[in-house]
Structure 1
Amino acid sequence: MNRAWGTVLLAAGFEVGWVLGLGHADSWWTWGATVAAIAASFGLMIAAVRAIPAGTAYAVFAGCGTAGTALAEIVWLGAHADPVKLGLIALLAAGVVGLKWLSGSPQKEGEAR
């Protein structure tokens, strides 16, 4: 199970790479790297949802990718680090952690959480 969550996080890292790549690709090499990152991201997600619920995995993937992209723009591309923006990224991260925590152990049918 933990390996599957690691796979989701790795897929989100590739998502950050391809999203940033789309905005900055200007040669055959950078376009090739962007396409490779897209393929890796989706391939890793396909592997991950074989072991964990697809809805939760996708929510964590999208949240990590969104937060990662916003932070990468601040750190590497000089985007404005507005306190409200940082607070919303923290709120997003809290939601991702909450989803991961709630999906920690499989629930049997009819069993209350």
Structure 2
Amino acid sequence: MDKNWIKVIVAAIFEVGWVVGLKHAFDFWTWTGTAIAIFISFYLMITAGRKLPVGTVYAVFVGLGTTGTVLFEIFFFGEAFKVSKILLILLLLVGVVGLKLVTKDKSKEGRKA
């Protein structure tokens, strides 16, 4: 796997952290952690977007972040578990994986030339 796609995945993990932080932060330290997670998340996404197609990077970033946030809320904060919600998350993930599979990396194209 290309290191830039790993950056996108790590950025999505930090996205889950800052989205949850925006909802649950309550003091200086939790708000500081949220701000740091925002910075890391966007930094990684932007640097990956320099080598990969930006639209696909953003779609994967948001799709994984949304999935992670919903699952985090279900498992750690008592959000209602609904089969329809899980099915829609799976549909979202299928779309994200599909986008990644049909998108050519700029970095790989440059190496072939």
Say which structure is richer in helix.
2
**Aligned-pair CA distance for 1:50:** 1.1
Aligned residue runs from structure 1 range 38-57, under 5 A: 38-57=38-57
Cα separation, 1, equivalents of 2:105 and 2:20? 34
CA distance in 1, matches of 2:59, 2:40: 18
Tell whether the 8 Å contact from 2:11 to 2:61 is kept in structure 1 after alignment. Answer: yes
| Structure 2 residues not aligned, in runs of 5+ | none
Paired letter, 1:80: A
Cα distance in 2 for residues equivalent to 1:79 and 1:62? 20
3-state SS of paired residue (2:51): coil
Please say if residues 8 and 45 of structure 2, whose CA atoms lie closer than 8 Å, have aligned partners that are also in contact. yes
Question: How well do the aligned residues superpose, as a CA RMSD in angstroms?
Answer: 1.6
Whole-angstrom CA distance in 1 between matches of 2:99 and 2:81: 26
3-state SS, counterpart of residue 52 of structure 1: coil
> Is the 2:11–2:41 contact (alpha carbons within 8 Å) kept by the matching residues of 1?
yes
Task: Report percent identity of matched pairs.
Answer: 51
Cα displacement string for residues 47-97 of structure 1 (whole angstroms, at most 9, x for unaligned residues): 101110000100000000011100111111111110000000000010010
- Other-structure match for 1:67: 67
State how far apart, in whole Å, the 1-side matches of 2:32 and 2:57 are. Answer: 27
Once residues 105 and 38 of structure 1 are traced to their aligned partners in structure 2, the CA distance between those partners, rounded to angstroms, is 25
Q: Alignment partner of 1:26: what SS?
A: coil
- Matched residues, number: 108
Superposition TM-score, scaled by structure 2 size:
0.90
Query: Partners in 2 of 1:36 and 1:101 — Cα distance?
Result: 31
